Chains A and B, each alone.
Chain A
């Protein structure tokens, strides 16, 4: 969308966050006049269901503000801070001066260590001046930008809450002439076009999605003219366009791109109006299929309404409709989906298949702050899950089924905790989550450091690993309280929470704690967690007006 739309939206920002819109505190630090960037980012947040409160470093004062621990940058405690410094090759700026990089890196380090929120540092666009021609690596400004980049990479290795964004990605897509506004830079210190501000804010927004648990988890695909060319019911399993010459190669490339998404942990599913036997024949007989049936976590090939199929896919995978992306070549089906299930992200799909992959990569809604081992093995875990369902069908009772699984829970505590995974669990878990508090890696590290009990559980059974899927945090400043208790839906209904909770209580007893306070805070999504505390032996004490329920637990 156009910058004007976002500027207008931000200008009409309501005084307080409307019902159901998540408030997020954002800080912006740049070395240019960044009002347009703020308004575009703010408007984009509002458009996407996030209520932003944005603080900016005063114009040209970032060096002072970052050194002053009482400045607004420090006291607002942002959920996310975005840094972006311009090393313009065309105008004289402070980054051309000796020592400035060192100074900024020290400031950044001090700032990043003092905040527990996520700090996203956008790397400067690499400055290609003409002065040194093709010997650009000799250019002092270029050298400084590269040195800055190296220093920032070192910083991310030291501090868990620092992330790098490669701004050159935007430059690569748009081209410099669409990014820089030379008159703006020279006359008003606004060196970038509003189109660039939109593109940059769009990239930054994917971090906000990830931090607020709104990243999408699953791509649901149509088949005919989406995953392959032509209609399988007419052309047959070998007659569809796939592999070989154009357009078959374009569809094969799209499947390869989807495979890469699957390998990093994005689930795939099928929602197609087709005869199931025709589709099975493609999987069995077409030698050009890149994706196999094992890559799909759920398959709906029938003549039902696609919105009904979508609901049943979400239910089967235990994820929300707002975790799904729908790709279908039919504008009619897309429109039906948008009207019927607006929570599902139904993307436009270009008419030509060679454009599909680019569209997929540009969606920017799957971002995660880190890739954990659990992400990379997720596809296999879902295949294991199908095998478990077969055992479930063969077992006479639930008890027998659970016994057959051979479940084991391994607990990690304090310094043994995988901080990246613990933070990710708070960001991604919506259903079996008592309080739905989202934490960054910095938050988790800080809690461990100050001695709160942070405990995770890793689960496996005879079919495979579930990975680290349970987390509990008990805060000890004041009355001991269960700040967070959550588990992945994949281990729901298997008694794992009981084993884990017993381990948590045992740990608390070693610290002399006899009683624990716990709260259930209802959200739109955590209905499955309503009875969780009672099932673990907690006693209800009172109910608040917002529906929250206070419990005590005898340790």
Chain B
């Protein structure tokens, strides 16, 4: 299981199989403002990377997270 799948599944309380690029606050009600913060800090920890506040707040889906990690030269499938 990838780090991202583990984090999204654990924080949002959804099955790993339900985690995909389309996962977003619209598809997943548990992705509220509080869980958004927990997701952010857990992703930063797992990838040993600190995001800028603006770029982190711009994330609206798991696909956005993947794009952000790629932009930082990190492998989103790690």
Known: A35-B34, A183-B53, A187-B53. A4 touches B41 (CB 8 A): no
Contact A8 B53 (CB under 8 A): no
Known: A35-B34, A187-B53. A194 touches B11 (CB 8 A): no
B contact face: mostly helix, strand, loop, or mixed: helix
Task: Find out whether the CB atom of A11 lies under 8 angstroms from the CB atom of B13.
Answer: yes
Q: Give B49 Cβ to nearest chain A Cβ, in Å.
A: 13
Contact, CB under 8 Å: B7 / A4: yes
Please report the total number of B residues contacting A with Cβ < 8 Å: 14
* One of A33, A187, A194 near B42 (C-beta < 8 A): A194
What B residues does A8 contact at CB under 8 A?
9-11, 13
Report yes or no: B13 in contact with A12, Cβ–Cβ below 8 A: yes
| Per-residue contact bits, chain A 29-72, to B (CB 8 Å; 1 contact, 0 not) | 00001011000000000000000000000000000000000000
Bound CA–CA A400/B13 (angstroms)? 65
In the assembled complex, A7 has its CB within 8 A of some CB on chain B: yes
For the A-B complex, the count of residue pairs with Cβ-Cβ distances under 8 Å equals 34
Tell me the chain A residues, 174-223 only, with Cβ under 8 Å from chain B: 181, 183-184, 187-188, 190, 193-194
Min Cβ gap A39→B in Å is: 9
Residues of B within 8 A of A11 (CB): 10-13
Q: In the complex, what distance in Å separates the CA atom of A4 from the CA atom of B8?
A: 10
Nearest chain A CB to B58's CB is how many angstroms away? 14
Q: Is A315 an interface residue (CB 8 A)?
A: no
Encoded as 1 (CB less than 8 Å from any A CB) or 0, chain B from 6 to 23 comes to 110111110000000000
B37 in contact with A7 (CB, 8 Å): no
Contacts of A4 in B (CB 8 A): 6-7, 10-11, 42
B69 beta carbon closer than 8 Å to chain A: no
- Give the number of residues in A that approach B within 8 Å (Cβ atoms): 18
Chain B nearest Cβ from A193, distance in angstroms: 8
Min Cβ gap B43→A in Å is 11
Name the B residues within 8 Å of A3 (CB-CB).
42
Do A190 and B11 touch across chains, with their CB atoms under 8 A apart?
no
State the CA gap A7–B53 with chains docked (Å).
24
Shortest CB-to-CB span from A149 to chain B, Å, is 30
Residue A5 CB within 8 A of the other chain:
yes
- Which one of A5, A8, A33, A193 has the greatest number of beta carbons of chain B within 10 Å? A8
Distance to closest chain B CB from A336 (angstroms): 31
Q: Is B63 an interface residue (CB 8 A)?
A: no
With both beta carbons as reference points, the residue of chain A lying nearest to B53 in the complex is identified as A187
Q: Which residues of A contact B6 (CB under 8 A)?
A: 4
Within residues 6 to 27 of chain A, which ones have a CB less than 8 A from any CB in chain B? 7-8, 11-12
Q: How far apart are B57's CB and chain A's nearest CB, in angstroms?
A: 9
Give the top 6 A-B pairs by smallest Cβ distance, nearest first.
Answer: A11-B13, A8-B10, A4-B10, A188-B37, A35-B34, A7-B10
Residue ranges of A at the interface with B (Cβ–Cβ < 8 Å): 3-5, 7-8, 11-12, 33, 35-36, 181, 183-184, 187-188, 190, 193-194
